[in-house]
Amino acid sequence: MDVLYFAWVRERIGLPKERVSTEAETVADLVAELRAREDRYDLAFSDLTALRVAVDQELTDFDASIKGAREVAFFPPMTGG
Amino acid sequence: MRIIVQEAPFDFGAEAEGFASGRHDMGAIVTFTGVVRDFGNGTLDTMEIEHYPGMTQKALDAIADEARTRWSLGDVLVIHRYGRMEPGEKIMMVATAAPHRKDAFEAAEYLMDYLKSRAPFWKKEHAKTGETNWVAAKDEDEDALSRW
């Protein structure tokens, strides 16, 4: 699946998008896998209350299933308007 | 209903006039425009707005659709820009048309509250000193959603 990062999450991890092969069943499982990779991921995901997630471009929560998902995106709370 | 996400500036006057014209059954047109605000003493160089292409349009469409189910509306217009803007530039606008003003005002407020917290845009301030700052979401913006 594609994993996308926006705003300071993108800056902290250092890339906007990457292809990830994973057996993770939920967003939280995917986060745990990413955090185990490198410090920059661990740092970016250190406070999940400061993050929001969208699965296939729909806002959801960290308990959500990602089975069959094409795209998971992580970003800070939105500041539109 | 027009929901537009674009980088280019928009002509607020022309958009508002175009939206308001030619309607014979709408007694109320409300428009709101968001403008890049300097955070003090001319220190802001530009405001950069990042968005999530693909999701942005869908999120805005869903917010506008929900507004149309909640209020008696004849039409809705949303224009939201992304990219870099200078202080004083218009970031976005919403317009609502309704038979009566209460629906038009409330729907416009609803659209703004949801646009702020549920549409995938992020603001980054670039100061003239070169410092940058991601604008943090405010608790009161999240709280504002609970009144709907």
Q: How large is the average pLDDT for residues B18-34? A: 96
Instruction: Tell me the residue type at B15.
Output: E
Assign a CATH topology to domain B2-147. Aldehyde Oxidoreductase; domain 3 (3.90.1170)
CA distances B100 to B2, B7, B35, B80, Å, are 20, 33, 27, 25
Q: From chain A, pick out residues whose CB is under 8 angstroms from the CB of B124.
A: 7
Comparing CB atoms, the residue among A58, A73, A81 nearest residue B34 is A81
The domain A2-75 is placed in CATH, from the list 3.10.20.30, 3.30.70.20, 3.90.1170.50, 3.40.1350.10, at 3.10.20.30
Q: Closest Cα of chain B to A69: distance in Å? A: 15
B19 Cβ contact list (under 8 Å, min separation 6): B29, B31, B75, B77, B95, B97
B3 Cβ contact list (under 8 Å, min separation 6): B57, B60, B61, B64, B76, B77, B78
Higher pLDDT, A40 or B140: A40
The chain B residue lying nearest A57, using CA atoms, is: B55
The helix/strand/coil state of B60 is helix
Percent of chain B past pLDDT 90, that is, above it, reads 90
Instruction: Tell me the residue type at B46.
Output: T
- Each domain of chain A, given as residue ranges in start order, spans 2-75
Q: How large is the average pLDDT for residues B57-78? A: 97
**pLDDT tens per residue across span B82-125:** 999 999 999 999 999 999 999 999 999 999 999 999 999 999 99
- Residue A61 pLDDT greater than 90, yes or no: yes
**pLDDT tens per residue across span A3-46:** 999 999 999 999 999 999 999 999 999 999 999 999 999 999 99
pTM (whole model) above 0.80: yes
Q: How large is the average pLDDT for residues B2-26? A: 96
Comparing CB atoms, the residue among A57, A76, A80 nearest residue B80 is A80
The chain B residue lying nearest A59, using CA atoms, is: B118
B27 Cβ contact list (under 8 Å, min separation 6): B98, B99, B100, B101
CA distances A31 to A58, A63, A77, Å, are 17, 11, 17
ipTM exceeding cut-off 0.90 for this assembly: yes
Question: Are the C-beta atoms of B77 and B15 separated by less than 8 Å?
Answer: yes
Angle at B47 between CA B46 and CA B52, to 5 degrees: 140
